Structure 1
Amino acid sequence: MPDYGLYSDKELAYRLNDSDKAAFTEIYNRFYGVLYWHAYKSLPDPDALKDILQEVFVYLWNNRTNIKPEENLSAYLYVSIRNKLINNFRHLKIKNDYIASFQDYLDNNIQPEADETIRLKQLISIIEAEVARLPAQMRLIFQMSRNANLSHQEIADELGLSVLTVRKQVNNSLKILRLKLGSKFFLFFF
């Protein structure tokens, strides 16, 4: 059996193109630590970094046939991490802007009128009915995420699932609810 540790990045990339799992494992072992510490400078959250790195390596494996071995593998991985970090920061900014906007709304509209209260109760019952129609595991994960305010990692640990599975289940449930409830109802929900 060849010693993959002696292969160059280019040779590993060629083997990765051929779906060589040992080559992928060597790439993972060779780059995980340096990518982690490189990204840690921008995002000092170990759990979030592990998720991002896992996404990068899953993407690398799923798109292994599209990797161009002639190109610099380490540069490809660094760019992938950078792009994931940028997307993460964009998502956090949007989320924080939404929270600030919602808090501003709450601060300026302390007492909803009776009509608004009735409509809000109706909306809540519609949403709860749609959530109840989700598949059992998806519903459980969604409720743990939204009602119990658990992180994806906490849900994964409690249910014995991977963080990616939990994230995918939450995203799928949100897609289903968006389709069922429509965009104007979804604004109240998220």
Structure 2
Amino acid sequence: MSADSNYSEIEILRLIAEGDEQAFTVLYNRYWNKVYTYLLRMTKSHEIAEELLYDIFTKLWTGRELITEIQHMDAFLSKVAYNKAISFFRYTASQRKMQQLVAQQMEHARVDDAADKLLDNEARELLQEAIRQLSPQRKLVFTLSREQGLTHEQIARQLNLSTQTVKKTMSNALSTIREFLHKRGMEGAVLLYFYMESKK
């Protein structure tokens, strides 16, 4: 598809899930400026805002198999961007030279309330429980894909499997996790969200 495509967002997300890089470029062009502006407003730094923006969209691409489950991309990216900025503040707070500046910025940033934190912790625990219940092969393929960022082709070479087998194994793993989360009242997009939020 062309970079200036007028495809609906649902169609664009479907194409991204299938690995269409041009469709991802279309999505990026639609949202990067809003996300960047928000990050810049919070961090007051062009360099930091650009780094966080890059990290957000890189992880969105890495987790593309689940992208079609995001019903409200605008709200999803806003929440991820907010948490990325807060994580940056918390990290730099450990650096003495940054403590005073960070404290000032944190005063103007909205802090998650206790209910949100409890919900996030519960979701992370459920996700880890779902992963633990996968079969050994599914867990290995899932871990190589999600935690190490390997492509299906790289996983196939590493495990001496066919690419088709890796794709099927990954699809089955995601289906199992979705079903596990759904039975506990959580959406499948939670999986993508928390992997975007991991390893900050």
TM-score, normalised with respect to structure 2 = 0.45
Higher alpha-carbon Rg: 1
Give the structure, 1 or 2, with the largest relative contact order (CA under 8 Å, sep 6 or more). 2
TM-score, normalised with respect to structure 1 = 0.47
